[in-house]
Amino acid sequence: MEDNKISYFFLGLGLGVAAGLLFAPKSGAETRDLLMSKADESKEFLRRRGEQLRDSAGDVLEKGKNVVQKQRDQLSSAIEAGKQAYRDALSQTGGGTSTQGV
């Protein structure tokens, strides 16, 4: 979705520059200055957008780490509960091992 917005932005920017070149009654120097200023605006937009994406990626990565850690903790707890249940079952049956016939 975000990629479409960026694509449409650049499409609009390109069409606007082309229309400006064809219809603007400006001299060559003025037109070059206009193009340079628009290029600088685009560069600044891309820089800000890149920073936003980097920040978003960092947030997503941190959330992912938290989810993995939570699930790891739950799995460890489940394994420990299973071990304890096994130990309890063995102690209730008298140890669970038989020495007869050995």
pLDDT at 102: 41
pLDDT of residue 88: 93
Q: Is residue 43 part of a domain?
A: yes
Residue 77 falls inside a structural domain: yes
Long-range contacts (CB closer than 8 Å, 24 or more residues apart) made by 39-44: 42/10, 42/13
From first to last of its 102 residues, the chain has per-residue pLDDT tens of 567 788 888 888 888 888 877 777 767 788 788 888 988 998 999 899 889 988 888 888 999 999 999 999 999 999 999 999 999 999 998 765 554 444
**9 inside domain:** no
Structure tokens belonging to residue 94: 């008298």
Domain that holds residue 60: 25-89
Is 16 part of any domain? no
pLDDT of 82 reads 94
Total domain count, the chain: 1
pTM over 0.85: no
